[in-house]
């Protein structure tokens, strides 16, 4: 494994949350991806209870509702419910 692969792998997380339509979704994501040439948001997502993440599978930006996250896996350790929400906010 190269240093770059190790760095990338270190920043991958998995969250399970309830979408706006009530369905459950799992997302493998990163928070260390920088947008190049994209416009800036006109608001702070955290103020609206959202977190902007990079969906590693779909290779696109996604907003995840902080308050509906019920499971979060970081480096193989899984957090549930309120602990998952708090860890997700801190990422």
Percent of the chain with pLDDT over 90: 65
Neighbouring CB atoms inside 10 A of 62's CB total 14
Q: Judge whether residue 3 has pLDDT over 80.
A: no
- Tell me the pLDDT tens digit for each residue of 39-79: 678 999 999 999 999 999 999 999 999 999 999 999 999 99
Rg, the chain, Cα only: 13
Mean residue pLDDT across the chain: 85
Q: Is residue 64 within 8 Å of 51, Cβ to Cβ? A: yes
Percent of the chain with pLDDT over 70: 84
Q: Specify the pTM.
A: 0.77
């Amino acid at each position: 494994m190269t240093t770059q692969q190790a760095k990338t792998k270190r920043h991958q997380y998995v969250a399970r949350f309830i979408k706006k339509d009530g369905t459950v979704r799992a997302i493998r994501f990163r928070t260390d991806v920088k947008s190049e040439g994209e416009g800036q948001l006109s608001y702070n997502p955290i103020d609206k209870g959202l977190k902007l993440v990079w969906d590693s599978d779909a290779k696109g930006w996604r907003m995840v509702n902080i308050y509906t996250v019920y499971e979060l896996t970081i480096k193989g350790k899984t957090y549930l419910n309120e602990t998952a929400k708090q860890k997700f906010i801190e990422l």
